[in-house]
Amino acid sequence: MRNYPIVFVLWCLLSTTLFYGQAKKPTLMVVPSDAWCNQNGYMLEFDNQGILTKVPDYTKAMQENTDLLLVISTLNGLMAERDFPLKNLETVLKGLTNDRGLNAMRTSRDTGASVAESPVDQIIKTAKADIILQLTWTVNKLGPKTSVTYNLQGLDSYTYKQVATATGTGAPSFSVELPVLLEEAVQENIEDFTYTLQEHFDDMFANGREVILQILTWDDWYGDLEELSFEIEDWLDANTIEGRFSTTDVTDTYALFEQVRMPLFNERGRAMAARNFFRDLSKTLSAPPYNQPNKMATEGLGKVSIILGGK
Amino acid sequence: MNALPLPQNILCCLALCCFLTASGQKKQRLADKDTYDWVYDIECYGGTAKNGYKLVKVWTYSKEKSVATTQAKKNAVHGIIFKGYAGEGRGCRASRPLMNREMTEEEYQAFFKDFFGDDGPYNRFVTYATDHKGIADVQKLVRNKKDRKEKFYQYKIGVVVSVASDDLRKFLEKEDIINSLAKGF
């Protein structure tokens, strides 16, 4: 009997450790910027309904530019050293190609059916990460001297905010080769980059993960989204950290809520991504008194679209 | 002159030894207090250090050259952890302090008292970068007394040292003194 308080304290400590695990870890990937791809001739051009459109050709850039490989490899190494290994763009691209080939060939032994893939699936299956590290460098020539201006931006894929940065121009040199200058630039700037990234993570742990909620409607849905948006705002106000969110757009058919600060863990201490957090909203809207059947679509850790009017 | 009897000689020698030891310890304590109070300057000494290392020049203040020189290593590590330094143009980039969280006085004492002890773990992360114990500059500081005469006050000694900043960061992360990037995930 006398040991009960000690046992209770131990149980509390153990349960805290067990139940409050680790938050969902965002994925990071280095990608050369559109500006760099354009300057170095790694763009694909196509006619988009009469408008000439350029998109970066990452595969060609990775196959031909060894400086890019060096910079990405150095960055990957430095981040892995900080227990934050990055997704490797080249490997992701190869993996996607392999998966596409395999899925096209797969058939069911029982029925002969092939793997289902909707047009949306095809669009979704691209190289992506929760935070894109957008990389740009330019080589500056001043007489015989060469220097490198380096710019690394950490961009949140869902909020579109720049969450980390490191920029700078290295010391000009007469004789040092470009790869060495690039390697130096990466090593000199990594500290600034990880510092700003750490600040972003600290903010996330203190104030919750910043996510996006999009409300869409099927074209056969006849409801009043403007009225319903007030109910959604009430739900957000009750469930976000300190009621933090911004209503950006509301129309009859579309609503956008940005800067939604969701908790990292649910009441049972399980780590949550945006889809876990908004599942309750989806259920609330489906149930009386709203009776709005809906479909929930997820993009990574931080974006959810709820489409009203059916699954 | 009559020589002192033997026991008295020994006693005098012992007293002198005690006095010198106490005096040395006092100077060392003062130097440690200066480090704790951030009474030192740290600046970048060129971007030539190899990857994972920082080459810095530390200015230490002391009445004793040898104390200042020894203390420079502690100050350099302390500076990398708590102070950081401003850059000097393109060749020398600014460095942020490794400490990335709030720390209470108790937490500081619990870890850093031993860490910065005379043979403490800090020694593993710092080396003199040049000969003669790294001394690059010695300045005599004077101050005016009431009678307007300038009098020697203390030395300001610049010492160049190399700090293994990456290893230091990993060590402090492992000891849970600073937050690692992946902490919480």
CA of A77 to nearest chain B CA: how many angstroms apart? Answer: 13
Q: Do B181 and A197 touch (CB under 8 A)?
A: yes
For residue A128, count other CB atoms closer than 10 A to its CB. Answer: 15
pLDDT greater than 80 at residue A81: yes
pLDDT computed for residue A153 by the predictor: 96
For residue A205, give the chain B residue with the closest CA: B184
CA of A21 to nearest chain B CA: how many angstroms apart? Answer: 8
Nearest CB to B95: which of A22, A191, A202?
Answer: A191
pLDDT computed for residue A311 by the predictor: 81
pLDDT above 70 coverage of chain B, percent: 78
CA of A24 to nearest chain B CA: how many angstroms apart? Answer: 6
Q: Which of A287, A215, A285, A290 is nearest to A245 (CA)?
A: A215
Query: Per-residue pLDDT tens for A28-77?
Result: 999 999 999 999 999 998 888 888 888 899 999 999 999 999 999 999 99
Compute CA distances A300 → A124, B69, B183, whole Å. 10, 54, 21
Judge contact between A268 and A16, C-beta under 8 A. no
Compute CA distances A67 → A149, A230, A232, whole Å. 14, 52, 49
pLDDT greater than 60 at residue B4: no
Contact partners, residue A241, CB within 8 Å, separation at least 6: A207, A208, A261, A262, A263
Nearest CB to B184: which of A23, A82, A197?
Answer: A23
Interface of B with A in 145-184 (CB under 8 A): 166, 179-182, 184
The DSSP output letter for A75 is: H
Q: Hey, what are A103's tokens?
A: 């899925």
For residue A156, count other CB atoms closer than 10 A to its CB. Answer: 22
pLDDT greater than 80 at residue A147: yes
Mutate to test the interface with B, among A145, A186, A198, A207 (most CBs of B within 10 A): A198
Mean per-residue pLDDT, A7-21: 50
Query: Per-residue pLDDT tens for A100-127?
Result: 888 888 888 888 888 887 777 776 777 8
pLDDT above 70 coverage of chain A, percent: 93
Q: Which comes out higher in pLDDT, residue B33 or B15?
A: B33
- What is the DSSP secondary-structure string of A88-121? PHHHHHHHHHHHHHHHHH-B-TTT-PBPP--HHH
Q: Could you give the dihedral angle defined by the CA atoms of residues B104, B107, B110 and B116, in that order, rounded to the nearest 10 degrees? A: -70
CA of B182 to nearest chain A CA: how many angstroms apart? Answer: 6
pLDDT computed for residue B20 by the predictor: 58
pLDDT above 90 coverage of chain B, percent: 36
Mutate to test the interface with A, among B50, B80, B85, B93 (most CBs of A within 10 A): B93
pLDDT greater than 50 at residue A14: no
Q: Which uninterrupted H or E stretch holds A174?
A: none
Query: Per-residue pLDDT tens for A148-167?
Result: 999 999 999 999 999 999 99
CA distance B175 to B185: 18
The DSSP output letter for B50 is: P
For residue A235, count other CB atoms closer than 10 A to its CB. Answer: 15
CA distance A306 to A274: 12
Position A131 confidence tier, pLDDT thresholds 50, 70, 90: very high
pLDDT greater than 50 at residue A94: yes
Q: Do A25 and B100 touch (CB under 8 A)?
A: no
Position B184 confidence tier, pLDDT thresholds 50, 70, 90: confident
CA of B90 to nearest chain A CA: how many angstroms apart? Answer: 5
pLDDT above 90 coverage of chain A, percent: 62
Q: Which of B74, B3, B8, B65 is nearest to B42 (CA)?
A: B74
Position B16 confidence tier, pLDDT thresholds 50, 70, 90: low
Full strand arrangement of the beta sheet holding A303-308: A246-250, A255-262, A209-217, A303-308, A294-299
What is the pLDDT of chain B when averaged over all its residues? 82
For residue B180, give the chain A residue with the closest CA: A82
Query: Per-residue pLDDT tens for A260-283?
Result: 999 999 988 999 999 999 999 999
pLDDT computed for residue B18 by the predictor: 59
pLDDT computed for residue B45 by the predictor: 87
CA distance A55 to A292: 39
Q: Do B185 and A191 touch (CB under 8 A)?
A: no
CA of A196 to nearest chain B CA: how many angstroms apart? Answer: 10
Mutate to test the interface with B, among A83, A186, A193, A272 (most CBs of B within 10 A): A83
Q: Which comes out higher in pLDDT, residue B64 or A256?
A: A256
Q: Do A198 and B184 touch (CB under 8 A)?
A: no
The pairing of strands A131-142 and A28-32 is parallel
Q: How far apart are the first and last CA of chain A?
A: 56
Position A18 confidence tier, pLDDT thresholds 50, 70, 90: very low
pLDDT computed for residue A159 by the predictor: 92
Query: Per-residue pLDDT tens for B70-105?
Result: 889 999 999 999 999 987 766 688 899 999 888 888
Interface of B with A in 87-146 (CB under 8 A): 89-91, 93, 95-96, 100
Mutate to test the interface with B, among A81, A191, A264 (most CBs of B within 10 A): A191
Q: Which of A6-20, A242-256, A291-305 has the lowest mean pLDDT?
A: A6-20
Judge contact between B68 and B161, C-beta under 8 A. no
Position B23 confidence tier, pLDDT thresholds 50, 70, 90: low
pLDDT computed for residue A12 by the predictor: 45
Position A304 confidence tier, pLDDT thresholds 50, 70, 90: very high
pLDDT greater than 90 at residue A174: no
- What is the DSSP secondary-structure string of B118-143? TT-GGGGGEEE-STGGGEEEEEEEEE
